Structure 1
Amino acid sequence: MDKYAPLWEPLQVGPVTLKNRVVVTPHALQYAEHNLMTQQSVDYYEERAKGGAGLIFTEAQAVHPTSAGLAPRTTQGWKTEVIPVYERLAKAVHKYGAKVFVDLSHFGVEDYNTMHLESWRALWSPSGLPSTTYNEIGRAMTHDDIAELVAAFARTARNAQVAGLDGAEVHAAHGYLLCSFLSPLTNIRTDEYGGSTQNRCRIVIECARAVREQCGSDFAVGVRLSMTEYAPGGIDADEGERIVKILANSAIFDYLSISAGNASSFDHVVSPMSIPGTPLVELAARAKKAAGGLPVLTANGVTELSVAADIIAEGKADLVAMTRAHIADPHLVNKALAGREGEIRHCVGANQGCINRMAKGWSLTCTQNPAAGREKTLGLGTLKLSEKPKKVVVIGGGPAGMRAAETAASRGHNVILLEKEDRLGGQIKYAARLATRGRWAVMIHDMERKLELYNVDVRTGVDATIDLLRELEPDHVVLATGSTWRTDGYSVKLAGRPGIPGLDQVRVLDPIEAIVYPERCGDRVLIVDDTGDYLALGLAETLAKQGKSVEVVTAGLFAGENILYTLDIGHLYPRLYAAGVTVTAQHIIAEVNSEGAVVTRIWDGASRSTPVDSIVTVMLRDPETALLASLQAEFDVSVVGDVLAPRRVDEAIYEGEMAGRGI
């Protein structure tokens, strides 16, 4: 029997029959132009339908001009100009037997009222309260505003229906406008739209009823809810259950999509790598008991088909979202059905290519899957066999080199991969040893399986030299030797000095050495961070859990500036403080002397000395270019990853992919 059989069972959702239980829920792509979905959006969704998903949702479609969105590339669904794009979307998704629902949204105060010069406005809100994240104060909606909003939901749904989409979801979760009406934290109205749970549900029911009346019974209508906001005074699980019962008893909805959180607790909605498991499934199970037989959809953190199948088999939900899993591998369903499960690329929860980019207003892609958003150029079927297979030597077994080797070999080239260490993975394998970051090892394992699949000749423990390359006689060389961390204390923020004065008076380690040999750090460790990334803080947590006294010093406004948008900070900071880590922002190490490290405030020079056994410099990296000139003198060479310029794993994998395609 197929171990995933529960997932492949069809499900009736109102008038719509879904071929399986696997769902891609709404998530921001930001491929829009002029605030309308584009062919790039259609291509993205088509790839997930082609890969076997049963139900696909569009990203949030704003229902009214007062919801301009958090970025210029946010999509507007109320404009009739979107209908031709919806038509292409419906045709593309239906071709593979999948269904597609439109996500009907209004962002409320989770917006900036003056972002767009042509649409300055007062933001709509239930009670004139500000957003907790953007601090924009909205104006309390009048009854005329509410009537206009209700009509806008119906009009936008009608655009989707006439274009051939299969249903609509009323988005009442995540702190958006309808969620803020549901929440006692943000709805303090005293009219019929505030007060009791029934009253706070009124606007959601009115919007959904208008959609139903506009579109009729042959168009599915659902609602997405935050069953708890994880915020004092907001919706908790008990209130969420009351909301579920009221909406289910309205006899309007064909299904319920259960999520959680608001804008200030979004790290509970899209859990980062450090949060294991599926934290929202039990909420869905509770909703299912209260939903009166309506199908229930659960989301967040489901990356394995086995977990999804268990959720269905145990009756905790009827549909399972595997959204980030489909960003990482849009063909995971069909691979499993074809017995090719070992070829699936897994989401590792890094949130670097998806949530991080969304929050900045950038277009979505994926750390593991650079084809995300580039389906026409890098998607399934775009990789062609080489007409003249070559002998290719890849130097370096980090993510860039592994991806280059895999891609080149998949095109028929004869590939040898040389790695000087005894294991593949580059610096990512050390990141996987940090507390809560073990899923990086999943990415390495995925890549190793691909190398095996395409018969790459992997040689570890080999120091690549020019003489060895001459012996191998390659037609093409890919240089992916990565980078090394500097330990001189040089900082771009203090470019006038060559490094930290007096650094020779203390043991200095780079972060890799500190991870591998923590005993060398001693008991009192000072970590100097110039990157703003996870590494320094993750290392601090790891060392503190071993009983060491750890302080992190950064000149940045706060430590971990670059991981705010990956949603790590809200989980990481409490763990750091619980472990006793001292986090000192807006300071530098002025010098090291006989009393220890002199920690100095950047604004006024106020200083203190702290005794330390070691300093770990998480600062600059230098590319490993020792072989480059000699290789270029004799061979055809591609340079990828950190050896080109030290950056993130996302760029390394993309460049490896492109190098493999270009040979």
Structure 2
Amino acid sequence: MREYEALWQPAQIGPVSLRNRVVVTPHALAYGRDNLMTQQSVDYYEERAKGGAGLILTEAQVVHPSSRGMMLRTLQSWPTEVIPVYERLADALHRHGARVFVDLSHFGAEDNNTMHLDNWRALWSASGLPSATYGEIPRPMSKEDIAELVAGFGRSARNAAVAGMDGAEIHAAHGYLLCSFLSPLTNLRTDEYGGSTENRCRIVLDCARSVRANTDSSSFAVGVRLSLNEFVTGGIEPDEGERILRTLDASGLFDYFSISGGSATTFHRTVSPMSISGTPLVGLAARVKSIVDKPIITANGIADLATANGIVERGDADLVAMTRAHIADPHLIAKAQSGREDEIRHCVAANQGCFSRMAKGWSLTCTQNPAAGREAELGLGTLEQAAEPRTIVVVGGGPAGMRAAETASARGHRVVLFERGDQLGGQIRYAAQLPTRGRWAAVVSDMERTLAKFKVDVRLGTAATVETVSAENPYHVVMATGSSWRTDGFVAALGNTGGIPGLEHTVTLDPITAIEEPDRTGQRVLIIDDTGEYLALGLAEKLAADGRDVEVVTTRMFLGDNTLLNLDLAHLYPRLHAAGVVLSPQHAVVQVTPDGAVLVRIWDGQQRVARVDSIVTVAMRAPEESLAGELRGRFPLTQIGDCSAPRRVDEAIYEGELAGRRV
């Protein structure tokens, strides 16, 4: 097809030919066992190869036992036991026409030295400076350490080459060990590995020579990933990034350069959350394109094929990483090339199933795509047609109900979906109305298109009752009626099961009402948050933008703590401060009097009174299950999503998928 023609052109990286310009860059899966990838890992990558990706890179594979990484399931590339695993991976991806490179890494000081009981050790770094993330003081690498590291890169590359992998990428970005040598901020050495740009590049070149010495350059490609800008004062800035790039390129050791940005403390610039739109690192790649005559990969925020094609067409980069886009839909290329672009599920950059879970050391999945990490169970070809098509009734048109309806209908069932509101989407539609959250709407629109494709009988503005459900004579009823926000002020840390005394002295609203009817909040708004999520802070930003005086209070250590792991917090806090929002962590509202809300500091009981026109409670939700109680016993019934237990949209979509497969 002519659309996206630049993207579909084959590419050459050293001796390796790629079928197109789309790359899946390294990202943590955490499916490993015994420090090796598993069949679950292979299944995950194979699904993306089936879907058409040109080049797939493994998650980080550490090259030396001194690095065990930030997760319990960190993978090793240096022992020979990895060869059969790499062989299985290479065979699986080659079978579908994709190429696979191994990501060779060492985390340096971005690690925890006592995470593994069998591997307590001093961390390695360029100069003994602690990680700002973990705070552990490492030791500067000795010459003997450096020699071991270099040998580890060579040994790991040899394992990959013997196994039939197509290439290796040396990870020298994002504040990890090699980046700590490249950065003038973290490399304070006075030997031949410190000082000038050339000296700071020496260790990367030594590692690359070791990789080259242990592989065949006629069949095995070698590249390097760099942060051209660490976005930290005194670190690698673009001019210094250029000097590093020229030094590395002059060696002739590298077949390509993968250009990224950010460091350990600025990872919110490396993987853009929903707060950031566009492709903020493409400019760095374009700058590199004018310097070196080697293939350039760019990454971050490239969520759709039109954007990716434009980058290649303009010559900003030769290849584009669509990593999170492939987590959300591993078949996006195949769908586009076969005229089914309207079936693509879009990454919304929520970072809930991917980065947030990685930061906790949990296995990767996806808000939009619960098959991520569950390919053997939920991947392509696993959806069985119903042996006997039946009538299935789904009650509730939020994300759980929509996914259940589309999956059941895809299996051949006749599906009737009751939604009492005039639109589908449930609470996701309200989330999409908050500042920088517009991309949540894609979750709804993606499923709406699928419901239309499978001709689901969607009945908007229709409240389900025992009578209306019974009239359909359903074989099975799926209850997805969601949850509602309590407005009594219950906060788990306080154990105030009866809520906050005195709320009758002010207007008390739930967050949905505050979004829909902001004028009801008045001028002085106090938001109580017990979730640590974006909602309370996004609502505060929205109300402050209208000129209101807003304070947000929580008993938690800081507000929005869960948005830290989504990478939103570093973007959100500056906006809140600029808008004049008052943030009051470690405080509780214990009562409301005619004079105002009484706030207590949780550590010492110190009180103050805040005059308020309204209080918005973002805390406890209650499942909407009254109809389920009336229907239970009349029909086979499954409760999913918030009406089972109020949680996130990730669980709702997953449970909807399972319900649709099982009815």
| TM category, shorter | over 0.9
SS, match of residue 386 in structure 1: coil
Query: What is the 5 A alignment of 1:341-352?
Result: 341-352=341-352
1:632-643 pair list within 5 angstroms: 632-643=632-643
Verify: 1:593 aligned to 2:590, yes or no. no
Residue 11 of structure 1: aligned partner: 11
Which residue does 2:298 correspond to in 1? 298
The C-alpha deviation readout for 1:241-282, integer Å capped at 9, x for no partner, is 111111111100000000011111101111000100000000
Alpha-carbon distance between aligned partners in 2 of 1:280 and 1:443, rounded to the nearest angstrom = 25
User: Which residue identity is paired with 1:195?
Assistant: G
Equivalent position of 1:527 in the other structure: 527
Q: Residues 402 and 150 of structure 1: is their aligned pair in 2 closer, same or farther, counting only changes over 3 Å?
A: same
Q: 2:308 aligned with 1:313, yes or no? A: no
Q: Distance in 2 between matches of 1:622 and 1:527?
A: 19
> Secondary structure of the residue that 1:152 maps to in structure 2?
helix
Structure 2: give runs of 5+ residues left out of the alignment: none
Aligned to 1:264: 265
- SS of residue in 1 equivalent to 2:290: helix
Contact 2:51 2:332 survives alignment (8 Å): yes
Partner of residue 485, structure 1? 485
- Counterpart amino acid of 1:654? Y
* Shift, 1:590, TM fit: 1.5
Give the Cα separation in 2 of the matches to 1:378 and 1:497. Answer: 40
Q: In structure 2, what is the equivalent of residue 237 of structure 1? A: 238
Q: Deviations over 1:546-598 (max 9, x none)?
A: 11110000000000122211111110011100111000000000111121111
What's the counterpart of residue 228 of structure 1? 229
In the alignment, the residues of structure 1 paired with residue 74 and residue 523 of structure 2 have an alpha-carbon distance, to the nearest angstrom, of 50
Q: Distance in 2 between matches of 1:396 and 1:601?
A: 41
Q: Secondary structure at the match of 2:498?
A: coil
2:288 corresponding residue in structure 1? 287
1:291-440 counterparts in 2 under 5 A?
A: 291=292, 293-440=293-440
Distance (whole Å) between structure 1 residues aligned to residue 152 and residue 525 of structure 2? 58
Contact 2:418–2:460 (Cα < 8 Å) also in 1: yes
In the TM superposition, what is the alpha-carbon distance from 1:395 to its structure 2 partner?
Answer: 0.3
1:22-101 equivalences in 2 (<5 Å): 22-101=22-101
Identity %: 66
Q: Distance in 1 between matches of 2:247 and 2:545?
A: 47
Deviations 1:34-83 (A, max 9, x none): 11111110000000000000000000000000001111111111111111
Alignment of 1:505-516 (within 5 A): 505-516=505-516
CA distance in 2, matches of 1:448, 1:250: 53
Q: Distance in 2 between matches of 1:273 and 1:593?
A: 39
Q: TM-score, normalised by structure 1?
A: 0.99
Paired residue for 1:614? 614
Q: Distance in 2 between matches of 1:288 and 1:337?
A: 28
The aligned residue for residue 247 of structure 2 is 246
CA displacement at 1:213 relative to structure 2: 1.4
Structure 1's unaligned 5+ residue stretches are none
1:438-587 aligned at under 5 Å gives the runs 438-496=438-496, 498-587=498-587
Question: Quick one: which amino acid aligns to residue 225 of structure 1?
Answer: L
Q: Please give the alpha-carbon distance, in whole angstroms, between the structure 2 residues aligned to 1:603 and 1:462.
A: 49
Offset of residue 125 of structure 1: 0.4
The TM-score with structure 2 as length reference comes to 0.99
1:103-118 to 2 correspondences below 5 Å: 103-118=103-118
1:216: how far off?
Answer: 2.3
Cα distance in structure 2, aligned partners of 1:423 and 1:645: 23
Distance 2:495 2:390 in 1: 45
Any runs of at least 4 consecutive aligned residues in structure 1 with deviations exceeding 2 A, and if so which?
none
Taking the aligned partners of 2:548 and 2:238, their CA distance within structure 1 comes to 39
Q: What SS does the corresponding residue of 1:221 show, helix, strand or coil?
A: strand
Alpha-carbon distance between aligned partners in 1 of 2:51 and 2:197, rounded to the nearest angstrom:
41
Deviation, 1:599, is 1.1
Task: Mark the CA change 1:542 to 1:496 in structure 2 (over 3 Å): closer, same or farther.
Answer: closer
Distance 1:522 1:197 in 2: 58
Distance 1:578 1:268 in 2: 20
SS in 2 for 1:119: coil
> Does the CA-based 8 Å contact 2:511-2:617 persist in structure 1?
yes
Cα drift, residue 501 of structure 1? 1.1
Q: Which moved more, 1:43-52 or 1:208-217?
A: 208-217
Read off the aligned partner of 1:331 and give its amino acid letter: H
Q: State the distance in 2 between where 1:443 and 1:278 align.
A: 20
Aligned equivalents of 1:524 and 1:249: distance in 2?
62
Q: Distance in 2 between matches of 1:491 and 1:550?
A: 20
Note if contact 2:490-2:496 (Cα within 8 Å) is conserved in structure 1.
Answer: no
Query: Could you say what secondary structure the match of 1:248 adopts?
Result: helix
Q: CA deviation at 1:209?
A: 1.2
Structure 2: distance between partners of 1:407 and 1:623: 23
Structure 2: distance between partners of 1:584 and 1:221: 51
Aligned mates of 1:615, 1:183 — CA distance in 2: 48
Q: What CA distance in whole angstroms lies between the structure 1 residues aligned with 2:80 and 2:216?
A: 19
In structure 2, C-alpha distance between the alignment counterparts of 1:628 and 1:16, rounded to whole Å: 58
SS of the residue aligned with 1:417? strand
AA paired with 1:585?
P
Give the distance between the partners of 1:550 and 1:188, measured in 2 at CA: 45
- Aligned letter for 1:235? I
1:297 is paired with a residue of what secondary structure? strand
Aligned to 1:597, the other structure's residue is in SS state strand
Question: Which letter does structure 1 place at the counterpart of 2:208?
Answer: A
**Using the alignment, how far apart are the partners of 1:160 and 1:287 within structure 2?**
28
Helix, strand or coil at the partner of 2:225: strand
Shift of 1:496: 4.4
Q: What is the identity, as a one-letter code, of the residue corresponding to 2:457?
A: D
Partner Cα separation in structure 2 for residue 39 and residue 595 of structure 1 = 63
Which moves more between the two structures, 604-613 or 51-60?
Answer: 604-613
Partner of 2:274: 273
The code of the aligned residue for 2:449 comes to R
Secondary structure of residue in 2 paired with 1:492: coil
